[in-house]
């Protein structure tokens, strides 16, 4: 594996972890992970990159080694954290972004809000969420308020990292033992369970589990996407459960989202689920380097 190193930056008053690979003088490539993931899981893709890159991957707030809120999370914070990150690492030059799921949604909205800051985007299944109707708002707010009254949220505790790795393989049978063990090392953190025994749980701030009180508004996301000037490589996994749950390739809803992008190339990766960077890292690396200058 290519060696990585950790840096800590202060982003909007929070201690934020950035994992880095490559030489400082190499072209910059910024990687953004999805919900419930961490920067280290890009390792498999980085190992397949053929060119020299200065790779920087952020742990989003409340994930991995970055400081969390200890309270509710809302989407605009990710946009502001990305803006703060880029101001520190590339204040004068637009950047290339490779982003998965949550990260892909952040990257594309940001590229429409700050089009001058983004050179190109590789979006791995950051397709937005399903549409919601405003009538759902009262129940959503009510559920959020009820959650705030309850005991603090928690993530499941596993006996050890091997047990956690086995759970990761249950969720994604494509993971080899080696990859599952690597992910368990970085996705998991040591903790004490309710029974007083030491164990491993997801390295994430537990309030991430609370429902977001505000409904997802696809129209706002699409308005941002229409302002993107950067070329976009839009990549999906052929066997992605998340994609199949929300979309059909030829659905009016999905095609209307793609139509927002002025310069887009669509690709589908075979033998691959939602976590393309875990399932087919070699193919993802190839697509990245074919697309980027």
The whole-angstrom separation of Cα 258 and Cα 127 is 9
Does 149 fall in a domain?
no
Q: How far is residue 283's CA from residue 281's CA, in Å, rounded to a whole number?
A: 5
pLDDT at 105 over 80: yes
Q: Average per-residue pLDDT in the chain?
A: 94
State mean pLDDT over 261-267. 96
SS3 label, residue 145 = helix
Q: Is pLDDT at 77 greater than 90 in this prediction? A: yes
pLDDT band at 155 (very low <50, low <70, confident <90, very high): very high
Question: Which residues have CB under 8 Å from 209's CB, separation 6+?
Answer: 153, 155
| 132 pLDDT above the threshold of 70 | yes
Residue 139 lies in a domain: no
Query: What pLDDT does residue 88 have?
Result: 97
* Interval 236-262 mean pLDDT: 84
Instruction: State the residue range of the domain holding 85.
Output: 1-131+217-293
Q: Which two tokens stand for residue 83?
A: 């803006």
- Give domain status of residue 137, yes or no: no
Element (H, E) at 7: strand 5-11
Q: Is the pLDDT of residue 145 over 90?
A: yes
H or E element that contains 265: strand 264-269
Mean pLDDT to the nearest integer, 11-21? 97
- Mean pLDDT value across residues 78-92: 98
pLDDT band at 249 (very low <50, low <70, confident <90, very high): low
At 193 the pLDDT is 81
- For residues 238 and 290, the answer to whether their CB atoms sit within 8 Å is no
Res 86 pLDDT > 80: yes
Q: Structure tokens of 171?
A: 């969720």
Q: Going by DSSP bridges, is the β-strand pair 95-100/28-32 parallel, antiparallel, or unpaired?
A: parallel
Please choose, from the candidates 77, 79, 55, 33, the residue with its C-alpha nearest in 3D space to the C-alpha of residue 203.
33
pLDDT of residue 248: 67
Q: Is residue 236 part of a domain?
A: yes
Is residue 192 within 8 A of residue 199, CB to CB? The reply is yes
pTM of the model: 0.96
In this predicted structure, the answer to whether residue 252 has a pLDDT above a threshold of 90 is no
Inside any domain, residue 157: no
Give the CATH number of the domain where residue 88 resides.
3.40.50.1820
Q: How many domains does the chain have?
A: 1
pLDDT the model gives residue 241:
82
Instruction: Let me know if 170 is exposed, middle or buried by CB neighbors in 10 A (0-12, 13-18, 19+).
Output: exposed
Residue 153 lies in a domain: no
Residue 170 in this model has a pLDDT that exceeds 90: yes
154 in a structural domain: no
- Report which of 76, 114, 82 is spatially closest to residue 98, judged by C-alpha positions: 82
pLDDT value of position 203 = 97
Percent residues over pLDDT 90 in the chain: 86
Residue 57: its pLDDT value, please? 98
Helices (H), 90-176: 102-113, 137-149, 161-171
Any residues with CB less than 8 A from the CB of 263 and at least 6 apart, and which? Answer: 229, 230, 231, 232
pLDDT per position as a tens digit, 219-233: 999 999 999 999 999
pLDDT band of residue 158 (cuts 50, 70, 90) is: very high
- Half-sphere exposure for 141 (CA within 13 Å, toward CB): 6
Residue 293 confidence class, pLDDT cut points 50, 70, 90: confident
Q: 88 in a domain, yes or no? A: yes
Question: So what's the pLDDT on residue 264?
Answer: 98
Pairing of strands 54-58, 232-237: unpaired
């Amino acid at each position: 594996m290519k060696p990585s190193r950790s840096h800590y930056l202060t982003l909007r008053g929070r201690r934020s972890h950035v994992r880095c690979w490559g030489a400082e003088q190499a072209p910059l490539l910024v990687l953004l992970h999805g919900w419930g993931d961490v920067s280290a899981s890009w390792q498999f893709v980085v190992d397949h990159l053929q060119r020299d890159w200065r790779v920087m991957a952020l742990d989003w707030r409340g994930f991995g080694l970055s400081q969390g809120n200890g309270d509710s999370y809302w989407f605009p914070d990710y946009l502001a954290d990305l803006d703060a990150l880029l101001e520190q690492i590339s204040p004068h030059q637009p950047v290339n972004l490779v982003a998965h799921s949550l990260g892909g949604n952040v990257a594309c909205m940001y590229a429409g809000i700050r089009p001058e800051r983004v050179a190109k985007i590789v979006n791995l299944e950051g397709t937005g969420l399903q549409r919601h109707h405003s009538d759902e708002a009262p129940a959503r707010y009510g559920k959020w308020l009820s959650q705030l009254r309850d005991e603090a949220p928690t993530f499941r505790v596993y006996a050890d990292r091997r047990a956690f790795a086995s759970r990761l393989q249950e969720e994604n049978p494509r993971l080899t033992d080696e990859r599952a063990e690597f992910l368990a090392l970085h996705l998991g953190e040591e903790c004490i369970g309710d029974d007083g025994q030491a164990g491993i749980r997801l390295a994430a701030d537990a309030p991430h589990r609370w429902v977001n009180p505000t409904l997802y508004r696809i129209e706002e996301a699409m308005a941002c996407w229409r302002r993107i000037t950067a070329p976009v490589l839009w990549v999906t996994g052929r066997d992605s459960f998340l994609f199949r749950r929300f979309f059909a390739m030829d659905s009016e809803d999905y095609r209307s989202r793609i139509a927002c992008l002025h310069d887009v190339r669509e690709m589908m990766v075979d033998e691959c689920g939602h976590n393309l960077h875990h399932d087919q890292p070699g193919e993802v690396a190839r697509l990245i380097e074919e697309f980027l200058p």
